Amino acid sequence: MLLLVTVVGCRSTGLRLTAEQEQIRKELAVISPRDDSLARDSPIVDIHTHTFNARYLPLRNILLGKRDAATPYTWLISDSCAATLAHSLIARTELAPAPGGQSVPRMESASQAQEHRDKGLICGIFLKLLDKAAASGAWRKGMSPKDQLDAIDKVAKEMNFQEKAAVMIATRMMGMDNHVDMSPNGLRGAVRFLWFLTQNDADQTRLFALQYKDAPMRGTPLMVSHMMDLAPVYDQEPNGNELLDFAKDQIRRVESFQERPNSNMIYLVAYAPYRDYWRGGHAGDAQELVRSAIEEHGAWGVKVYPPSGYRPAGNSIQPRPAGIRSRAAAEQWDARYGPLPADKNRALDEKIEKLLLWCIEKDVPVFVHSGTGEFEARKGYGFYHSNPSFWRQFLDNHPAPDGSPCRLRLSLGHAGGDDYWFGGKTAVSWGSDTYEMCRRFPNVYCEITTHAQLVAPDSQAFFVDRLTKAFDDSQRDADGKPYPFSFAKKLMYGTDWYLPDASERVTVLIATEQAFLHKKLRVHYKDYFFGNALRYLNAGTRLNKSNGSFTAVEKRLQDALTLATD
């Protein structure tokens, strides 16, 4: 409880609570997860996390292609500045020794700004900030991760206006504007995100566990790590240890991390349709990469990422970028869409349909980003391509052979974004459409990403009230008919760790536990925190096939399954 009180809430949402919500708010304030055995004895599955680092992302081209992310400042960034910014983060990023690869140490010096003093104003500010962070111990060997994070927080707190603006610009160019604002906590979130981006890839699982070590739960959370395959999206060729090759290096590394006894991590492989033709690719390559990761390299499912410029159905490619400083963006567009045959939209529809039909046939879990922002290939692509209604279109067009609703095993990440779930105004239908799909289709699930908004008492109360109604099985659809499936069996816990957040992770988790310990949601606690995730992941079927010889992670899943079914 004390923790909650000391944390400053996020942006004000302008929420007006009803009398009923006011009452919930009062009741929430006295709930203490630490004193509740339901919280202490339940395991947690976080269905939405990331464990990549800067060497897994085409950072240089992400920056080059986003010149319109925060104009006019981003126009000031020259090509060589973008390359230098990317390189300066990558140089500070460690790689663990892994199959087929050597370890890569990070650059220790605090003199990058001096080395690259000719790259322009914004570049200079950003590089000096990195040097400052280095000098303060943010990456110092022998210092604990906690002390390093404290050091980086201190740097964030002491930033001057120019430095704040440079951090905002850099994170916006990566597409994080939904997550970051200029408030002190928003900026701390952005700076921490950049720090996590530089961490040793083998350490990410440990850093994740460390952030939750004071929260009441059984064991440490099991993380489901989502890969991203962005090189073809931004047309940046893999290059040794600077940008790891997705198939040869990234998948192998993540597979080996998953296999470590104490990883507490399983992974989803990423899909990128452009692999079918990008730099020598052939028709079918994109799906084959997914198949081999799942059938031969231990992946538990596939991550589909529409902000990269495509939809599951109803594709409608945006025009080729033109205008100030858009040369790189236009080249990236050419790489993504140029080689597609004459009816480009239809060609994309067909590729993704083929993948999803295979997923239905094999009962493979598909996880899709279904919020408005994040690593968008172009500004606006998230909003344009990620609308859950395109999934509804696919589901409606693919009923099961017996005519019953589509059986695709799908999770809508972010559940359509915050607005519906936290009382926002912009993309409300995205959330309500997500809810509808969960209740109409047997295997459609969703995850409302928990973050700083849960720590604000008003939004927390709104959230509890919203879910109470969503979980009510007597709710009828627009035609007055009962729904076939219960939402309480479909909603999963997820955080999108380590993307920027304005609050402390453990504080958000405790606030989420508080919400589900409220008398109106308490009966759904176990389903929400682990039961539904195990069902979505099809863990029972998958573990049955393992014939008794379990890895440590599988054993944990097995234990959680036993708890889930009592």
Whole-number minimum distance, CB 107 to Zn ion, in Å? 28
Whole-number minimum distance, CB 328 to Zn ion, in Å? 24
Interface pattern 445-484 for Zn ion (x via CB under 5 A): ----------------------------------------
Region class of 314: left (phi > 0), else alpha (psi between -120 and 50), else beta: left
Instruction: Please state, as a whole number, how many other Cβ atoms lie within 10 Å of the Cβ of residue 241.
Output: 15
Whole-number minimum distance, CB 99 to Zn ion, in Å? 25
Residue 11 tokens read as 């942006």
Query: Residue 68 or 496: which CB sits closer to Zn ion?
Result: 496
Query: What residue number has its CB nearest to Zn ion?
Result: 496
Query: Residue 217 or 270: which CB sits closer to Zn ion?
Result: 270
d(C-alpha 499, C-alpha 422), whole Å: 19
Task: Show contacts with Zn ion in window 481-520 (CB under 5 A).
Answer: 496
Instruction: Compute how many residues bind Zn ion; rule: CB under 5 A.
Output: 1
Whole-number minimum distance, CB 372 to Zn ion, in Å? 13
Query: Residue 216 or 382: which CB sits closer to Zn ion?
Result: 382
Query: Residue 234 or 337: which CB sits closer to Zn ion?
Result: 234
Whole-number minimum distance, CB 376 to Zn ion, in Å? 13
Answer for the pair 151, 143: CB distance below 8 angstroms, yes or no.
yes
Whole-number minimum distance, CB 303 to Zn ion, in Å? 8
Query: Residue 33 or 413: which CB sits closer to Zn ion?
Result: 413
* Helix ranges (DSSP H) in 220-325: 231-234, 251-259, 285-296
Give Cα separations from 14 to 416, 423, 462, 475, 515 (angstroms). Answer: 20, 9, 12, 28, 20
- Non-local CB neighbours of 282 within 8 Å, separated by 6+ positions: 276
Whole-number minimum distance, CB 228 to Zn ion, in Å? 8
Q: How many helices (H) and strands (E) does the chain have?
A: 26, 8
Query: Residue 496 or 527: which CB sits closer to Zn ion?
Result: 496
- Nearest in space to 302 (alpha carbons), one of 273, 272, 275, 271: 271
Query: Residue 331 or 419: which CB sits closer to Zn ion?
Result: 419
Strands ordered across the beta sheet of 366-369: 45-49, 222-226, 265-270, 301-304, 366-369, 410-413, 444-449, 491-494
HEC-encoded secondary structure of 35-84 = HCHHHHHCCCEEEEECCCCHHHCCHHHHHHCCCCCCCCHHHHCCHHHHHH
Interface pattern 125-164 for Zn ion (x via CB under 5 A): ----------------------------------------
Whole-number minimum distance, CB 50 to Zn ion, in Å? 6
Query: Residue 229 or 496: which CB sits closer to Zn ion?
Result: 496
Task: Show contacts with Zn ion in window 75-94 (CB under 5 A).
Answer: none
- Non-local CB neighbours of 57 within 8 Å, separated by 6+ positions: 197, 228, 230, 243
- Using rule CB under 5 A, residue 349 touches Zn ion: no
Task: Show contacts with Zn ion in window 406-445 (CB under 5 A).
Answer: none
Whole-number minimum distance, CB 448 to Zn ion, in Å? 13
d(C-alpha 158, C-alpha 108), whole Å: 22
In the complex, the residues that contact Zn ion under the rule CB under 5 A are: 496
